[in-house]
Structure 1
């Protein structure tokens, strides 16, 4: 919608640090192959993963990893902003 109004999209800096992943995406990286079955579309895999994530009772392992990744991103981003 922003493009329709003539607003240019801000260019992404390739040197900027990668954003931190959420607990769900860290879990999904570790479990995608186990969830995926032959012939499943990306949408079907995402729906199945979402259902499994909601049923998961102990998410603390991935929440801890997400917190560590957030700290990494904040540290790298601070270094990046100071060097610019």
Structure 2
């Protein structure tokens, strides 16, 4: 078989088909000023349940046991028993919506300068103002 390539000859080490891995898109840094999402009705319930459970079981150190007991209790509750927790959750949700709208409005107005200032320095505002008042000699002492 002249001119015919055997299977072993046609495969070169570099000629294998390879799957190109896509690079994950760069994640945006989370804005620490963004309001946190409100707790669901179940988590509002769990706030109270944890306190009650710890009073009844002071020796229990396991978080999972408390969570499982809370989940079982929540499932066994009627809609009427859940209603106060649902109402609290809805109230928190409406407050969150207002806060989020205010936050988005600030972003739309364009205040990226604040983020840049935060990146430049981890110092609190009081420390920054203290440094402005001093002649700068204290900064050298702090670094030692």
1:60 counterpart = 2:70: no
Aligned length: 81
**Unaligned ranges ≥5, structure 1:** none
1:11 aligned partner? 29
24, 47, 60: which one pairs with 1:29? 47
TM-score using structure 1 length:
0.83
In structure 2, how many angstroms separate the alpha carbons of the residues matched to 1:8 and 1:47? Answer: 37
Q: Which has the larger Rg?
A: 2
CA distance in 2, matches of 1:39, 1:28: 16
Query: Aligned match of 2:69 in 29, 48, 54?
Result: 48
Match of 2:93 in 1: 70
Structure 2 Cα separation of the partners of residues 43 and 70 of structure 1: 27
Gaps of 5+ in 2: 1-22, 108-144
